[in-house]
Chains A and B, each alone.
Chain A
């Protein structure tokens, strides 16, 4: 979440390959990138940004395991003690018949759990309004953003020079 009155200097690129090589150049020059925005997931961007592997899927496993146990446990309880019923001449506790539902519960819990966790981490809830740097980054532009709120004049020039060298199509300054 950007703080009040963050000044952001950002460059827009037309191609994801330009963006990737620019991010690499920035890394070599030890420039401090605030964020990178792309309209779609760009393969190979994570390693050049130095992003760590997400831990979300660990939670996905945990949610899935909970779903499996819940589904299987619920069916076991319902069909053996709460309301024992014979279906198709099978025993009350017929494991093969429980497996499809256990599987579905695993997927359901895992998917919902991961989605809700992801929303929570990103602060995305109904009613929350996030500021967008530029609408075109959801369409066809690839953006590198620098936080220049407390940057000195020559630092800003430095960043502009970087954008020009790496082939940015546009350079803009915006206060959020």
Chain B
């Protein structure tokens, strides 16, 4: 077994990845065809994939740092894979830099808080958005720049240093802990940096697509989502490299342990998914609930498909011991989970960006009309925020806002078919009644079920968030979206293989290398007596 091997980035693989990138570029350009005036489809595709693949690189670094800090030894033989993955943050810096440039130059409209037509300064002026006014200290171009590319630059520096120390270790004469200790300093200091800053990164780049909404669980949830992206990609890359004859010392036992992570973190992701959902469902605050209401009513394939891909599949398939030890099964599950978390991010970004674009159009229209309309786009959120402070007056507000919204809705819904417009009428009456009934016991606040329904109806039918009809590339990913994913994936892999080919595939002088080479999960699936010390290296003696 020759440990001193180096990956050779062959011309054929290079060519295939370049083809993938060309497909991506074509599909990205294609998504401009029939796009709206803000090129929402194009820009959401860019943001979605940039965040997802940059997040994978970040999480590879975070995962590796956590393992180094925890004195893990089993992972030595796969360390270089994560090191190479983490270097993609450099490319992520450019990808996210384009988004940042767009925030300054206003050439995309992903973030409603960045719309110059939104009034966040003058409370007496038209369309005053109280919520965004309250968040302007955080949601502004300056902070956005710091929170995305600023933090990415810091992380990349750490990833670069960690890899540098690891590569320098190869030049040692004999294995010792000298370089390992240095690595631990970089790894341990990265954990708080990555852990705390990544929350801000995700609030800025993904959560602020729905700027009125917030969730305290969001950063956890989406970070774990990219973590699974990173783990599933690791599984696929290891199996790919093995099929090419590399990494022969990575055994079923290593795969088994990564499979446990894939299984366990998938369950953790589900826990966070449910946590976020249940906290919001239970509290039933309009400005929070609308996020889920919107997705459950108008994006059911995205919403429920997410759970099917990311919970049901890995949970049922990986529950058994032996499935985690089979290369074919693991590749299959990893591919599904990888796609699943890409899908998850799609669902976080697309519906919100569609609303942002719609709101922008409404504001422009209303400005044209001299701002005579009530502030339909922001009225409800506005109302919800004041409601917290004055529950007694809230219902009156809601009813008022509702009347406005419904009136407006009938205007904007003229493009839709007549039956739907008719439907909105009885819905309106019902909701208004519920609100009236509610005034009798206003002290019950939001807690009352009827009130909750009324608020929902208002959000759902009021035209607050515009056109809800099926739209390819938003309701479900279209061919363009899949193509763009292939493009970004090819870019990621091209960079990854290039980085991987530069250094030895094994950290040759890693003090934990011996442990890793003899890693043994102690699992005996076949129930056969193994006496010859086969691939798992059972027959090793003392160290």
Contacts and interface: CB of A to CB of B under 8 A. Distances in A.
Contact of A44 (B319, B538, B542): B538
Contacts of B528: 47, 50
Interface in A2-23: 15, 17, 20-21
A68 to B, nearest CB: 13
B455 to A, nearest CB: 11
Given A52-B527, A97-B282, A24 B520 contact: no
B305 interface: no
Given A46-B522, A88-B447, A90-B449, A21 B529 contact: no
Nearest to A44: B520
A152 interface: no
Contact of B522 (A24, A43, A90): A43
B276 to A, nearest CB: 11
A90 to B, nearest CB: 7
B218 interface: no
B176 interface: no
Contact of B531 (A42, A48, A53, A88): A48
B405 to A, nearest CB: 22
B538 A27 contact: no
A99 B278 contact: yes
A53 B524 contact: yes
Contacts of A20: 538
Given A53-B321, A88-B282, A96-B277, A44 B536 contact: yes
Size bin of chain A's contact surface: 20 to 34
Most buried by A among B523, B525, B530: B530
A150 B448 CA distance: 80
B49 interface: no
B540 interface: yes
Nearest to A100: B278
B531 A28 contact: yes
Given A45-B522, A53-B524, A89 B452 contact: yes
Interface string A86-111: 10111100001101100000000000
Most buried by B among A24, A27, A28: A24
A99 B274 contact: yes
Nearest to A41: B522
A89 B524 contact: no
A89 B277 contact: no
Nearest to A90: B449
A100 to B, nearest CB: 8
A90 B278 CA distance: 12
Interface in A23-37: 24, 27-28
Nearest to B271: A103
Given A27-B529, A27-B531, A90-B449, A47 B538 contact: yes
A50 B531 CA distance: 9
Contact of B281 (A17, A21, A48, A96): A96
B521 A50 contact: no
B124 interface: no
Interface residues of B, number: 34
B538 A17 contact: no
Contacts of B204: none
B507 to A, nearest CB: 23
Given A21-B539, A41-B522, A96-B281, A50 B529 contact: yes
A63 to B, nearest CB: 14
A27 B447 CA distance: 69
Contacts of A48: 529-531, 538
A51 interface: yes
B479 to A, nearest CB: 35
A21 B520 CA distance: 15
A49 interface: yes
Contacts of B108: none
A44 B522 contact: yes
Contacts of A43: 520-522
Contacts of B522: 41-46
Interface in B286-329: 319, 321
A51 B447 contact: no
A41 B541 CA distance: 18
A90 B452 CA distance: 9
B529 to A, nearest CB: 3
Given A88-B447, A89-B447, A24 B531 contact: yes
Nearest to A49: B529
Contacts of A53: 321, 524-525, 527
A98 to B, nearest CB: 11
27 contacts: A17-B541, A20-B538, A27-B529, A27-B531, A42-B522, A44-B520, A46-B522, A46-B524, A47-B528, A47-B529, A47-B530, A48-B531, A48-B538, A50-B527, A50-B529, A53-B524, A57-B321, A89-B284, A89-B444, A89-B451, A96-B274, A96-B277, A96-B281, A97-B278, A97-B282, A99-B274, A99-B278
Interface of A: 15, 17, 20-21, 24, 27-28, 41-53, 57, 61, 86, 88-91, 96-97, 99-100
Interface of B: 274, 277-278, 281-282, 284, 319, 321, 444, 446-452, 520-525, 527-531, 533, 536, 538-542
